[in-house]
Each structure stands twice: as C-alpha cells, then as structure tokens.
Amino acid sequence: MKKLMAIATAAVMALSLAACGKAADGDKKSAGVMTYAEYVAAAVDTPVTVETYVQAKQGWWEDKATIYTQDEDGAYFIYQMPISQEEYDKLTPGTKIKVVGTKSEWSGEVEIIDVTSYEIESGNYKPAAVDLTDKLSSDDLINYQNQFFTAKGLTVVAKQDANGNDAAFLYNWDGSGEAGSNSDLYFDVKLGDNTYTFTVESYLCGEGTDVYTAVTGLNVGDTIDVEGYLYWYNGVNPHITSVTVK
C-alpha cells in the first residue's frame, strides 16, 4: 500500500511540475555542469559548461547558430555555436542541450561564445513569460537578462526619422532601412515617466512574422502588451517576439 501511495504521490508531483512549466528533470545538473548561480559568479573570459533549454533561434549561418536558452533559474544567450544545419533543425523550442564554451560580455550583454562542444540531451522545458512590467525601471532588471518576459500596458511614443518626422517605428535604429528590406524594427514605449527602446530583430522575427507585421502597423499613442527576450545592449534592449494592441 505504501509503495502504491508513493507512486501516486510521485505522479501527482510530476503533473504539478508540468503544469507550472517546470522541466521534468527539475534542476538536476550533470557532473561538471554549472548551476545558474555558478555561471553568474564565473568571471568573464573563463570556461563555462551549462545545461539549458532552447527557447528561440536567432538564425543559422555558415554552420553557426545564435540561440536564446533558459532553465528554471535563468537564461543563457549562446552566440554563434558551431552546428550543422541538420543538428540545428533538431533544436526545437524546449530542447535540452549541454554547452561548453566561454563566458563573455559585449556592451553589457552576457553571453556564451567560442563554443567547443554541445550535446542534445533528454528533457524539455518552456517557461511562461515572467512579467517584468513593474521592474523595467528597477536595478533588479539586469538579473532577468535574456529571459523570456512580458510587459503590459505600454504606450507607443514617437521616434524621429532621418527627416525629423515623428514615426511609430523605424527601419533600423537610425531609420536607414525600408519596407521590404527585412530590416530590424525599432520602436519606443513609455511606462510612467520612463521611455524604453524595443527591437524586433529580423534574424529572429523577420518580415512576414506576426510581430513584424504588428509593429509596422503601430500608431503613436497605441497601448500594447509585449513578449520577448530581455537582451542587453548598452542597457536594456529587449528583442520582441509578440505585440498585442489593446
């Protein structure tokens, strides 16, 4: 009877973890693999080994991939990981991978570069977007770097194009792009007294995707909710994957 009760209890716990978006294997790490806290504490330009879960792929080019990944404790941005097209296609959202590389920092963005090896492992995890609406202006925001997030009730404010005209968005940061060029999109939003610049990274969500179309349809004054990845470039510069006009 006790054995049956234990099995039943384990099954309930597994279902509860799944319902909460937890990985089936919890936060267990293989031998030699860092916890997220150890990764954060590691010095820049030192070797790191992590186990994490693919969330989005920014693109594959010349046998290298840039990937947004996350586990239950934090996120890891993996830059230009050597990988074949065949293996890259296997990296669907939630796929668990083990990566060996070097911790680096570029303009405030902490990432893993110079990957020397990777393995696709058993496991799957896709987190719910963490709501950072109330943290956008806080010093604590950096602790969520590269995580999948949402922010709500933002107001679209004008940017100025190359001619000094107000625009709801720009093709490229300086307005140098144009429709049909698959340029990155930049748009500003305001929350309270603070204004933030958000980006639709074309390698991640290019022309024709829902979010790209939504941003090119924005008007100054629109109220929106967004989802994306909390990328960093000389300060917070989120890469947005979803925009909902309220």
13: Cβ–Cβ under 8 A, 6 or more apart, which residues?
A: none
pLDDT digits (tens, 9 = 90+) for 194-213: 999 999 999 999 999 999 99
pLDDT at residue number 169:
97
Q: How far apart are CA 97 and CA 119, in angstroms?
A: 5
Q: How far apart are CA 2 and CA 184, in angstroms?
A: 59
pLDDT at residue number 23:
52
- How far are the Cα atoms of 52, 120, 231, 232 from residue 93, in angstroms, in the given order? 11, 12, 18, 22
Which pTM was predicted? 0.87
Q: How far apart are CA 226 and CA 153, in angstroms?
A: 9
Domains of the chain from N-terminus onward? 26-124 (2.40.50.140), 130-245 (2.40.50.140)
Query: Confidence band (pLDDT; 50, 70, 90) for 27?
Result: low
Q: How far apart are CA 214 and CA 209, in angstroms?
A: 9
pLDDT digits (tens, 9 = 90+) for 166-180: 999 999 999 999 998
Q: How far apart are CA 71 and CA 59, in angstroms?
A: 20
pLDDT at residue number 31:
82
Region 209-229: mean pLDDT is: 98
Q: Which helix (H) or strand (E) holds 244?
A: strand 239-245
Q: Where are the beta strands (DSSP E) in 62-133?
A: 64-70, 75-82, 95-106, 109-124, 130-131
Q: Which of 130, 59, 69 lies closest to 96, judged by CA? A: 69
pLDDT at residue number 18:
39
Secondary structure (DSSP) of 174-185? TS---TTS---E
Contact status, residue 71 vs residue 125, Cβ threshold 8 Å: yes
